[in-house]
Structure 1
Amino acid sequence: MNEKVGAMTLPINVEQIQQLLPHRYPFLLVDRVIEIVPDVSVVAIKNATINEPFFQGHFPGHPVMPGVLIVEAMAQTAGLLTQLSRRIKGDTGNPLFYLVKVDNARFNAPVVPGDQLRLEVSQKRLVRGMGLFIARTVVDDKEVASCELMCAARSEK
């Protein structure tokens, strides 16, 4: 079901995501945005398939998605929250945000091929180019990872 949010229609597909984030294969870790409340929260999806390059070496015979990549997927989702919120408000700028801090990262269960990650990110605050976000990843209604993320807009220098 498609839903209008401002001038955008949900879900936001991967081609639209590529217009908002600089990441590309094999490092684009968000497939779709399914919910957004501008400047508040976003929900995105990442489908983990056996074709992911990291599964080949992590670990042979027992593929598990690296926790650092789950954190990266949550950070990209936070970036989508800021970019989509700006677009919904009519701002066509596309500032680049860098991940500067990860706190309280927890990994509760492994992510394996075939899992669909539900990436849920809430904005705690965004002040002077610094954003603080609360993030969690859910697979089959079970929280598999969570953390707090701080991102900073890139300086024009």
Structure 2
Amino acid sequence: MSTEKINLDIHKILTLLPHRYPILLVDRVLELEPHKSIKALKNVSINEPYFQGHFPTRPVMPGVLILEALAQTAALLTFSEEPSDPSNTLYLFVGIDNARFKRVVEPGDQLMLNCTFERHMRGIWKFKARAEVDGVVAAEADLMCAVRHTDTDA
């Protein structure tokens, strides 16, 4: 098994994930070791649409979107392990355990997204996930996701 680490730019990410603006929350994959781990980043800009209402006088990235960014990162790791055609593949976020938020994420931050593969059983993928800013944990959780293939002929 190769230990080669792969990185992916936004163009490759767009071929693997169905998400688009304003919900695509991964800008680049810095390291990807199939079947093991992934390190990606999200540049947090004041131009994000959610900052208009969360909160106007002190913009803070919603925790649920940090978790969504981690789930998208986990999806990219999953797709490195299972061949998929994004046009007929649905990646579902099916569970979360032990979610903790430890640091506010603000405009100008670079959110580092780390996911480690734990196990795959009965169609459910489990990951340990951690988001950091400047080496400080912003959020962490155990994520469970499922891959479903849709019938594109229907």
TM (norm. structure 2) is: 0.89
Map 1:46-65 to 2 at 5 A. Answer: 46-65=42-61
Q: Distance in 2 between matches of 1:69 and 1:144?
A: 12
Map 1:7-156 to 2 at 5 A. Answer: 10-86=6-82, 91=83, 93-94=85-86, 95-154=89-148, 156=150
* Deviation readout 1:4-45 (Å, 9 max, x if unpaired): 94xxx8431111101000000000000000101111100000
Alignment RMSD, CA only?
Answer: 1.8
Q: Distance in 2 between matches of 1:85 and 1:125?
A: 12
Q: How many residues align?
A: 147
Q: Distance in 2 between matches of 1:123 and 1:146?
A: 14
1:126 is displaced (CA, Å) by 1.2
Aligned letter for 2:130?
R
TM (norm. structure 1) is: 0.87
Aligned letter for 1:129?
G
Task: Determine what percentage of the aligned residue pairs are the same residue.
Answer: 51
Q: Distance in 1 between matches of 2:75 and 2:6?
A: 17
Given the superposition, is the C-alpha separation of residues 58 and 17 from structure 1 closer, same or farther in structure 2, using an over 3 Å criterion? same
Aligned letter for 2:134?
D
Q: Which runs of 5+ in 1 are unaligned?
A: none
- Secondary structure of the 1:134 match is strand
Q: Distance in 1 between matches of 2:6 and 2:118?
A: 23
1:149 is displaced (CA, Å) by 0.5
Q: Is the 8 A contact 2:90 2:150 kept in 1?
A: no
Q: Distance in 2 between matches of 1:92 and 1:131?
A: 15
